Amino acid sequence: MKLVFAPADRSGWPGVSDAQWADWRWQLRNRLCQLDEIAVRIELTPAERAGILLARQRLALAITPHFFSLIDPLDPDCPIRRQVIPRLEETHRGPHEMADPCGEESHSPVPGLVHRYPDRVLLLVTDRCAAYCRYCTRGRLVGGTQEAGFRPELEQALRYIEATETIRDVLISGGDPLLLGDSRLDRLLARLRAIEHVEFLRIGTRIPVFLPQRITSELVAMLRRHHPLWMSIHMNHPREATREVRDACARLADAGIPLGNQTVLLRGVNDDPATMRELVHRLLAMRVRPYYIYQCDPVLGTAHLRSTVQQGLAIIESLRGHTTGYAVPTFVIDAPGGGGKIALAPDCVEELTDRRVVLRNYEGKRFVYRQEGAPRAAVLSEDLADA
């Protein structure tokens, strides 16, 4: 059956014209940031009310009308509201939680630049997002909640990249870089593209999901001038795959920008096989390759949103062999303390010697792959006793 992409439900915004709703600047100006404007639209729980009142002590609160329209106003367990509505649980601090769980500060030679891997860097260009995920890894930086504020030193970072010839790949993130104006982003991309040893650029963004109206024809025309350019978007639940998001991704894909998706495994949002399978199928239908599933980082105040590694592995196991390989992302943990991404996979190798490998497939059947001069053949499990 062909997947249906429904438009966002605008019934909560009576009197708003089509032109206003389609204007990304209108969406930003009308973000929901206060208790009273949220409480008139959805039935809040006491924990949500308390969380909203305390939100700025930890992480800014802002939700675009587009994304807010996806919330079930009567369901406190709605997977959309769990991602963006603060809860009192955010004030709880677990023993292993950290402000900087990925150790970015320890790998930052310049404010706003993270150089963890030999050939690539992460360039943070802004501290602002269209909306704020309650599990944000960079909650210490984004939204202007810090007293000192986050001030990336872009010129210093660019000079570092120019001087470091091992850098071939630059990932531009933040905050969300697509909140920069077209001309400013154009100048940044041109400056990076002019560095001879930088082979390709990537943009990490949730704008196509939070604010699909931002993906204008003018923005796309500018981006296509800076190829090879790749983009990683961030979608966690199939309900986020609206018609507007599909169309925004189509504009990017038609401009030759390869799209990948990064999902965070979240308790009560997507930590079950059926939800994740529907999500990856919708992504492929939008020409977005499911790239990573992240184990939720141990950020301060996120225990209520973190699922288990066992559940993540079970989800990967449920996808392998039951859908196309293009739909199976890599499950990773960004190692606490700055160890980088470490891939996790269900254990499909039951035995490994110089002579043979015993493998288990998606059906649970066992096969042998022979090595070191032995006849290379695969045999069914009933032949193992004779191997």
Helix-strand-coil split of the chain, %, nearest 5: 35, 20, 45
Instruction: Please give the average per-residue pLDDT across 252-268, as a whole number.
Output: 98
Query: What six digits make up the tokens of 9?
Result: 């439900």
The catalytically annotated residue of 246, 271, 297, 366 is 297
97-123: per-residue pLDDT in tens?
999 999 899 999 999 999 999 999 999
Largest CA distance in the chain: 76
Percent of the chain scored above 70 by pLDDT?
95
337-369: per-residue pLDDT in tens?
888 999 999 989 999 998 999 999 988 999 999
6-24: per-residue pLDDT in tens?
999 999 999 999 999 999 9
Annotation marks residue 129 as catalytic: yes
Instruction: Please give the average per-residue pLDDT across 66-92, as a whole number.
Output: 96
The catalytically annotated residue of 72, 117, 267, 348 is 117
Annotation marks residue 138 as catalytic: yes
The catalytically annotated residue of 289, 341, 356, 370 is 341
Q: Would the pLDDT of 94 be above 80? A: yes
Instruction: Please give the average per-residue pLDDT across 221-234, as a whole number.
Output: 98
What DSSP string describes 245-268? HHHHHHHHHHTT--EEEEEEEBTT
Q: Would the pLDDT of 387 be above 80? A: no
Query: Taking the domains of the chain in order of start, what are their residue ranges?
Result: 18-91, 105-344, 349-386
The catalytically annotated residue of 58, 81, 82, 116 is 116
The predicted structure's pLDDT at residue 136: 94
The catalytically annotated residue of 31, 87, 127, 133 is 133
Q: Would the pLDDT of 374 be above 60? A: no
Superfamily classification of domain 105-344: Aldolase class I (3.20.20.70)
Helix (H) or strand (E) holding 171: strand 169-173
The predicted structure's pLDDT at residue 147: 47
Find all residues with CB under 8 Å of 308, minimum gap 6, and list them: none
The predicted structure's pLDDT at residue 316: 97
Cα gap 241→224, rounded to integer Å: 24
Q: Would the pLDDT of 39 be above 50? A: yes
The dihedral through the CA atoms of 334, 208, 282, 200 has a sign that is negative
Between strands 113-117 and 366-370, the pairing is unpaired
Annotation marks residue 133 as catalytic: yes
141-197: per-residue pLDDT in tens?
887 655 446 778 899 999 999 999 999 999 999 999 999 999 999 999 999 999 999
Query: What six digits make up the tokens of 355?
Result: 């002579």
Annotation marks residue 117 as catalytic: yes
191-216: per-residue pLDDT in tens?
999 999 999 999 999 999 999 999 99
Instruction: Please give the average per-residue pLDDT across 37-52, as a whole number.
Output: 96
* 273 burial via Cβ count (<10 Å: 0-12, 13-18, 19+): middle
The catalytically annotated residue of 82, 128, 135, 136 is 136
The catalytically annotated residue of 129, 132, 246, 292 is 129
Instruction: Please give the average per-residue pLDDT across 121-137, as a whole number.
Output: 96
The predicted structure's pLDDT at residue 59: 86
The catalytically annotated residue of 58, 82, 120, 282 is 120
Annotation marks residue 348 as catalytic: no
Annotation marks residue 224 as catalytic: no
